[in-house]
Amino acid sequence: MLRTLTVFLFSIFLSIHVSTAKAVQSGKYKVINTDGFVQHEGKRTQLETKRKPGLATVEHAPDDSLFLDINGSTIRLFPIENGLAALKWNSQGTTLLHDTDVLALIEVGDPSNVAAWGADLAWPDTIRTQLVLFTLSSNAFAGFLVSETEGKTIVRQMEFRQVFGPSNRPHTSTHSNVAAKTR
């Protein structure tokens, strides 16, 4: 598994390009760690997730890279050629998003039409850490932070959202609809 994740993440950085469409809005986002696991000696153990949202700011650069400011640190993420189609991950046996989940959520049939960005990060006490983000909608994206330490791989799944709740929710409240029906 460690080899699979390493190959997956290494391959995305070999395919970086500069023509990904600006599929995500610049601005402030709420960030939630939604899932994760630690893999050690071939065994995966689910991480406990804290549902308290953090805040991040996303800004587009002229070369279509993204600047992600989170917890006072700014990370530059570069566009990945072929988007989601360039990313392969093994979420088997976990509740992490699968590539088919992402395609179903955003109703896109071709994974190369899902914009993605990635970067290697300097992270304390790790051999290698990489961050990959991909679009879910114009105001939401998801991603994985994958860290390798001596003998362990730690995977965290995150969601970034500008709007919480169903995107197709009507603009009138339930209370106002009930009042209108009783008149």
One-letter amino acid of 109: G
Tell me phi and psi for residue 111, to 5 degrees: -60, -20
Residue extents of the structural domains in the chain:
2-181
pLDDT at 6 over 80: no
Q: What is the pLDDT of residues 114-158, one digit of tens each?
A: 889 999 898 788 888 999 998 888 888 899 999 998 889 999 999
Which DSSP string do the residues of 106-152 spell out, in sequence order? HT-S-GGGS-EEEEEE--TT-SEEEEEEEEEETTEEEEEEEEEETTE
Where residue 107 falls among pLDDT bands split at 50, 70, 90?
A: confident
Q: What is the pLDDT of residues 49-90, one digit of tens each?
A: 877 889 999 999 999 999 999 988 899 999 999 888 888 777
